[in-house]
Structure 1
Amino acid sequence: MQFSHFDIDLFLSDYWQKKPLLIKNPWMSWSNPLEPDELAGMACETGVESRLIMQARDGANDVLKVEHGPLAETRFGQLGKAPWTLLVQAVDHAVPDVAALIAPFRFIPNWRIDDVMVSYATDQGGVGAHFDQYDVFLIQGLGKRCWQVGGLCTADTPLLPHEDLRLLDSFEATNEWVLEPGDILYVPPGIAHNGIAVGDDCMTYSIGLRAPSRSELIEDWSDHLVGEMQDDDRYGDPDLRVQDNPGEISAQALADMHAMITEAVQDRDAFARWFGQYNSTRKNPDIEWEPEDPVQVEDISAFLAYDVPLFRNSASRFSFIRQSEVTLLLFVDGQCFACSEDMMAFAEQLCAQEHIIIDPEVPGSVTALIVTLINQGSVAFDQED
């Protein structure tokens, strides 16, 4: 899918991480990429993250109850007339047409894109007023949904007590729109919002973006560093002098120990390699995508000879870090591949496009890399071609 009209530069300068924006159907041709029954079927599968949110009455108040999947196939016939919402995460990993929704948003770097969550709601269904700590594009796929947006929330914003949902204790709408199929609402991090289905068969596609917190980065980077260190890398003071008071921790000792820490964490090259691997790790790394029979270099020669497209796995993550004009590091599903000059064009193209056709005369180093990526389940040739 592609946009027919959307001013990316204006959006980035005036709205990105600043204020919400309603984008009226910008698609060249909008068609809902997933049927409600298909979404319900996914929610019944093991290994798929799904939630069923039901609205109930508790005295004079509405209460949201959450049921986690996998759901029984008979569950949807037992829901009755009360409003309910089904949420399924990472649908783009399993449905190519849903994954295609991400392509027009690639003006955001790959490493920032998380997944596509799909929701289905009956009339008046929703998940309550809340805020997210990341940017989100809310695409109306089927039916109508009324979106209300409010003010900026922080970690101190009061929440209602709930085991599964981060619901705002109070919510005051400052804007309200009814989205129809193809319309998009952009919501920056921290902005309160509330979506309510208008009529039945309401489907919304949420493209969520990743925003690692400072604490997450420090914790995971530090864990990585500690795992790489040797036990005998210890503090030493061969120039020790007698102190006036043995109870004092001297300024020199503090400076030396502080240097031990800062020297390790300030290695930018090591950080770059770690972050590329950390950030490119699949959302669901336990799912096995490897082919049943590993391929060899000679197995792919026919695909190259007949210009068969090489497709990226929609569940995989691709990015690269340029080291110099003739080298870069390619990161695919948590693995790092050092690419020399003869491999750079392939690596850059692979990160930029969902599928590519490879020159049969490609260097052997590229062929070997393709074999590795196929065997780890990150790419595959289109067998139909």
Structure 2
Amino acid sequence: MHLTNFDAPAFLRDTWQRRPLLIRNPWAAWANPLEPDELAGLACEDGVEARIVTTKRKGYVLEQGPFAEKRFAKAGKKPWTLLVQAVDTYDPDVAALREAFRFIPDWRIDDVMVSYASDGGGVGPHYDQYDVFLVQGLGRRRWQIGGMCDAATPLQPHDDLRLLADFQATEEWVLEPGDMLYIPPGIAHHGVAVGDDCMTYSIGFRAPSRADLIGHWADDLIAGLADDDRYADPGLSPQANPGEIAPDAVARLHAMVTSTMKDPAVFARWFGRYVTERKYDDAPEVVPEGTGLRRNPASRFAFVRRSEGVLLFADGACFDCTGDMVGYAEALCAGVVGAPSFATRELIAALVAQGSLVDA
């Protein structure tokens, strides 16, 4: 699938992370990539992250999957919504939907969540901390947009859902199949199905928090530090007050910590591995048979340039590529799996062994 009548550079310049935007059916030919029964089938499988939100008189009720098949046969008359995370890791047609959004760097794309709702179904007014494109697959959905929210915005008292306590809509649209709504981080929004068989594809984008980056990188650094790498203070002089932590001691201790984290090359090698880790380790290979050597759509690829070549990252693994391997690695990240050569044979074998490339 690809977008037409859509100016990606203008969108990034004027809209991205600035304001919501309604885009009426920008597809060359929209076709819903997944049937409702297929989505329900996924929600019944172990290891698949699925939820059902039911709208009741007293509010919204959340159920966690996996679900038994009879759960959908007895859905009841109350409006309800089924949400399944990372459907792109299980279905190649849904994975193909990501291709339309590659004007944004691949490492920023998180997953494609798919929802199905009965008439009136929704998950309540809320805001996300990441960018999202909401693509209407089947049926119709009314979207209301509100103002900017943050950690101080009041929420409803709810054990399972982060719902806004006071949602005030400023804009409203009804989306038809193929229509798309972009919502930046922090913008309040509320979607409700208009009629049955409403399916929405949510393409979400990663936005690592400072706490996540520091925490995960620190964990990785700590794993590589020797136990005998310790504080030392040769030439220590007597202090007037032994209770003081002297300025030179504070500076020395601070340098012990910060010097370890100052190398951009070390950070780049860690971040490439971190950001390409698969969301679900046990996700199946979803490459159609008979297609030859292909990227596994469930896999994540990225690269970082260096003076002597590139670092290729695939599913949390790092490969140092030089010489003829560089062009192959760059093409692979662009989505092109070229013909194997003598120089790339070991790299390809390693990628096939870990499931990042699939010989179908």
| TM-score normalised by L of structure 2 | 0.96
Tell me, in whole angstroms, the C-alpha distance in 1 between the residues paired with 2:327 and 2:232. Answer: 48
Name the residue aligned to 1:263: 259
1:173-212 equivalence runs, <5 A: 173-212=169-208
Question: How far apart are residue 309 of structure 1 and its match?
Answer: 4.3
The letter of the residue matching 1:319 is A
Which SS does the other structure have where 1:369 is aligned?
helix
Name the residue aligned to 1:47: 47
Tell me, in whole angstroms, the C-alpha distance in 1 between the residues paired with 2:111 and 2:349. Answer: 26
Residue 143, structure 1, aligned to residue 123, structure 2: no
Name the residue aligned to 1:37: 37
Name the residue aligned to 1:273: 269
What are the superposed Cα offsets for residues 95-154 of structure 1, whole Å, 9 maximum, x if unpaired? 111111110100110110010000000111000000000000000000000001100000
Which SS does the other structure have where 1:315 is aligned?
coil
Residue 376, structure 1, aligned to residue 358, structure 2: no
Question: How far apart are residue 285 of structure 1 and its match?
Answer: 2.1
Is the 2:90–2:284 contact (alpha carbons within 8 Å) kept by the matching residues of 1?
A: no
Tell me, in whole angstroms, the C-alpha distance in 2 between the residues paired with 1:162 and 1:312. Answer: 41
Tell me, in whole angstroms, the C-alpha distance in 2 between the residues paired with 1:100 and 1:339. Answer: 28
1:96-107 equivalence runs, <5 A: 96-107=92-103
Name the residue aligned to 1:299: none
Name the residue aligned to 1:344: 326
The letter of the residue matching 1:322 is R
Which SS does the other structure have where 1:200 is aligned?
coil
> Mind listing any 5+ residue stretches in structure 1 that lack a counterpart?
291-302
Name the residue aligned to 1:252: 248
Name the residue aligned to 1:332: 314
Count of residue pairs brought into register by the alignment: 358
Question: How far apart are residue 288 of structure 1 and its match?
Answer: 6.6
Tell me, in whole angstroms, the C-alpha distance in 1 between the residues paired with 2:283 and 2:232. Answer: 46
Tell me, in whole angstroms, the C-alpha distance in 1 between the residues paired with 2:283 and 2:30. Answer: 31
Among candidates 302, 314, 319, match of residue 319 of structure 1: 302
What are the superposed Cα offsets for residues 208-237 of structure 1, whole Å, 9 maximum, x if unpaired? 000000011111111111111111111111
Name the residue aligned to 1:297: none
Among candidates 76, 80, 100, match of residue 76 of structure 2: 80
Which SS does the other structure have where 2:358 is aligned?
strand
What are the superposed Cα offsets for residues 302-343 of structure 1, whole Å, 9 maximum, x if unpaired? x9xxxx64211111110000012x411000000000001210
Is the 2:134–2:180 contact (alpha carbons within 8 Å) kept by the matching residues of 1?
A: yes
Tell me, in whole angstroms, the C-alpha distance in 1 between the residues paired with 2:172 and 2:37. Answer: 29
The letter of the residue matching 1:346 is Y
Tell me, in whole angstroms, the C-alpha distance in 2 between the residues paired with 1:197 and 1:55. Answer: 12
What is the root-mean-square deviation in Å for CA atoms of aligned residues? Answer: 1.6
Which SS does the other structure have where 1:316 is aligned?
coil
1:104-123 equivalence runs, <5 A: 104-123=100-119
Question: How far apart are residue 246 of structure 1 and its match?
Answer: 1.7
Tell me, in whole angstroms, the C-alpha distance in 2 between the residues paired with 1:104 and 1:289. Answer: 21
Question: How far apart are residue 359 of structure 1 and its match?
Answer: 3.1
Flag the 1:287–1:4 CA change in 2: closer, same or farther, 3 A.
closer
Tell me, in whole angstroms, the C-alpha distance in 2 between the residues paired with 1:27 and 1:120. Answer: 21
The letter of the residue matching 1:329 is L
Name the residue aligned to 1:366: 344
Paired-residue identity, %: 60
Is the 2:89–2:283 contact (alpha carbons within 8 Å) kept by the matching residues of 1?
A: no
| TM-score normalised by L of structure 1 | 0.90
Is the 2:285–2:298 contact (alpha carbons within 8 Å) kept by the matching residues of 1?
A: no
Is the 1:140–1:180 contact (alpha carbons within 8 Å) kept by the matching residues of 2?
A: yes
Tell me, in whole angstroms, the C-alpha distance in 2 between the residues paired with 1:216 and 1:22. Answer: 31
The letter of the residue matching 2:77 is K
Which SS does the other structure have where 1:165 is aligned?
coil
Tell me, in whole angstroms, the C-alpha distance in 2 between the residues paired with 1:352 and 1:309. Answer: 18
Tell me, in whole angstroms, the C-alpha distance in 2 between the residues paired with 1:286 and 1:214. Answer: 28
Which SS does the other structure have where 1:314 is aligned?
coil
The letter of the residue matching 2:351 is L
Is the 1:289–1:376 contact (alpha carbons within 8 Å) kept by the matching residues of 2?
A: no
